[in-house]
A and B are shown apart, each in its own frame.
Chain A
């Protein structure tokens, strides 16, 4: 059962990022800001991006991102600014760094390991062409029920 914390109740309903009062006048810049919001964590909230959260800090961060974009910074510069100020914790997408190699590499390692095991099983025991008499008998039994 998911017991929602009281915080969420307060945060809930609204509006957060789409509040018309804060929007940037240029729709292209606003769209970029919204993309970035989804990658930035509201650090006092439980596990929300600043795009969803209504907390005060999320509002401040949104203002900061919008101001930077308005000032002509690139997405990369905005991200760098945020991590410089709040650490890597602020980004919902972990950096591709050696420290995170385990995290990013694990899915591929599991797939490669699995495939190696599969190929190994083919190499060691080539599939035989014919059914052994035992197998034929068993197949017969299975198809009868």
Chain B
């Protein structure tokens, strides 16, 4: 009864509810769309700002301006034809170390003494003589030439060449120097070896100096060549060598 009498009311309410629901959906869609548009507008504004900034950067860094800077400050030029390489091989060829002749190095001759073996056949006597030969071998085979040219006296070269020779001298005789120190060998040699130490320090100092200001040092060397040549620790090399030699003897 009541339901029938309220039927129209329900109908109206349902219709109103449906309409309201539809409207809500539409409203929601519209608001989403508006937000999207706001984002799009912001994108467009950002694009416009980017354009302005790009244009400003482009204008400030325009090619004629770069050219002017280059002419005034950098002075860069176009690469010449020789500066172009065809590949890795050509590049590697450029990096090949230059072959240098070290005039300072002592002339070393190698002469191996003919091993004197007892002509006993069937007795492989490797015991003593073989070991002895091996122990002597590295240093004994090398002999420094006795004739020395006075290349060291060339004043300009001395200082610059110093670190090289010093380094070399320490490198090379490492094997031969050891037996020189420990064995039973001579006190007289100590006297010869001693001057080495005080001299070595100036050598290092000179080396440092030469690293810092090579031009200056060479200039000084030219002005007073003789003194430097004498005080100069080219000594380490001959000293060591003499020591080495004596050690062998």
A and B assemble together: no
Chain B interface residues (CB < 8 Å from chain A)? none
